[in-house]
Each structure stands twice: as structure tokens, then as C-alpha cells.
Amino acid sequence: MTTPPPLLSIREVSKRFGGLSAVDAVSFEVHSGEIVGVIGPNGAGKSTLFNLVSGLAPLTGGDVIFGGNDMTLVPPHERSAIGMTRTFQIVRLFGHLSVIENVMLGGHCRTTQGFASSLLRLPKVLIDDRKLRHLAMHWLNFVGLSKRADEPASHLPHGQQRMVEIARAMISGPKLLLLDEPAAGLNGAETTNLLNILRQLNDRGLSILLVEHDMKFIMGICDRIVVLDHGTGIAQGTPQEIRQNPAVIEAYLGKRNGDAAH
């Protein structure tokens, strides 16, 4: 039996800011249907790696291959159309637009038409808009926010804004969802809700790559974990393996007879 090629493969990815190496030759893969977590102490390069994968920052070296596409050649705004969307560490909704309009914007790549062609195909544009609104309602229903569809997004509490962001990402029909610290700022109930939603999405075949600080969260949901420290990958494995990995324990807690223990 041959294994199918990975959905996302990150090969020797590096990012240098002048003399500082923020990410140094990190390699790992995400297979279809997997949930992979990236962890590491503060300043380990997690967020930088994430921006490299989602295209917000250019690579200094290495390759990001997604579904057979060389992602270094794909500008950020074309990524959602080929099945890769992301959320942000600090929720980035369009605050004065309504909740449903925010979600509809996530489906922008489906109705992507310029000004002139939109004017010439007015009926089609209006029909597409209605379909998109319908689909947006479906995803709002899924995250449990259909009742707040017409409110300005900025009126929602943080935890619900996070859910809107996930609905906005899901409406484009991604194969891979990139989540940058999705549990940040959520309370216990909201975190549990988020876990349930992510599990449901994963059951439907969605692959997820996430960066997270919350250990309980990441250990509870990930199939595999990649550990970064000082910009390099120091370990990969199942949550069980990671928990017992001496290099990981050292990175988080310091050496037994070192000076950095706390």
C-alpha cells in the first residue's frame, strides 16, 4: 500500500531577520485529516512559522508545498481559493460590518469578480450574493451564532468573535485550516465549545494546523505535535511521545542542573 502524498509539506523552511534566525530549517508534514499542533516556549518562532506558511511573510529559504502547489509562488489572497485559510491570534474581524457580512467575505474567493464584470452580470451577482448569504447562515448556525447574524461584529464578546472567524474561514471550503492560538482569551466553556467544533470539522475530513499555548487544549486535540525551540524543530510525535521527550521537557523547564529552571 502506498501512502498518499501529504496535504502540506514544509521543507527546510527558514526565516532570517538580518542576523537573527527566527525559523531555521524546520520540516514537517500535515496529512489529510490530521490535526497537527505546533508548540514551543515564547519566542520559539511559532507565529513566524505560521506567517510563512500562510504567506503573510516571505520565506528566506525552503519550500512550502500544499496540495501540489508551490506556495511561495501563491500570493496570500489566492490561498483561500486553493483550500488554505487561516485565523489570527488576535481576532481580526471587520468590526463595523455585520456578523453575516464578515462570514460572507470569507466566501469572497467564490464570487471573485471585478467591477466591470460584476456590472455586466448584475442578475448573476445578485443570485450569487443570495447563495452566499445562505451558506454564511449555514456556517453561523454551525458555530451557534445565527441569531446574531445582523449585529455589527464588534458588538460580540471575544469568544463569539473567534467563532465568527472560524465560520468565515470555513465558508471558503478549505482543505486545511490554520489556527493561530485559537484558544487565546477564551474561558473554560468557550474552549470546550471550540474543541467540539474543531473535532466535528475534523470528523468531516478537514485538516488542521494550529499553534497554541494552552497545553491541555493541544494535547487533547492533536494527532501529532511539532515542538519548536529557538527557531528549530526539536521534536515531533504523538502527544504521548512529546510529553515524555527529554528535549521538550528541557526546552520548557530548563536543564536539571542548569540555571534557567523556574
| HSE-CB of 222 using CA atoms within 13 angstroms | 28
Instruction: Check residue 74 for interaction with another protein (CB under 8 A).
Output: no
Nearer to another protein, 14 or 85 (CB): 85
User: Per CB under 8 A, which region of 24-32, 181-189, 236-244, 248-256 contacts another protein?
Assistant: 181-189
Residue 176: C-alpha distances to residues 1, 34, 76 (Å): 24, 9, 14
Instruction: Check residue 175 for interaction with another protein (CB under 8 A).
Output: no
Shortest distance in whole angstroms from residue 249 CB to another protein: 26
Instruction: Check residue 43 for interaction with another protein (CB under 8 A).
Output: no
Instruction: Check residue 111 for interaction with another protein (CB under 8 A).
Output: yes
The only residue of 33, 76, 237, 239 in contact with another protein, by rule CB under 8 A? 76
Q: How far apart are the first and last CA of the chain?
A: 48
* Residues whose CB is less than 8 angstroms from the CB of residue 183 and which lie 6 or more positions away in sequence, other chains included: 191, 194, 212, 213, 214, 217
Instruction: Check residue 129 for interaction with another protein (CB under 8 A).
Output: yes
The only residue of 39, 156, 211, 221 in contact with another protein, by rule CB under 8 A? 156
Q: How many residues bind another protein (CB under 8 A)?
A: 51
Nearer to another protein, 33 or 185 (CB): 185
DSSP assignment of 47-58, as one string?
Answer: HHHHHHHHTSS-
Footprint on this chain of another protein (rule: CB under 8 A) = 54, 56, 75-81, 85-86, 88, 90, 92-97, 101, 104-106, 108-109, 111-115, 118-119, 122, 125-126, 128-129, 132, 150-151, 154-159, 168, 172, 184-185, 187
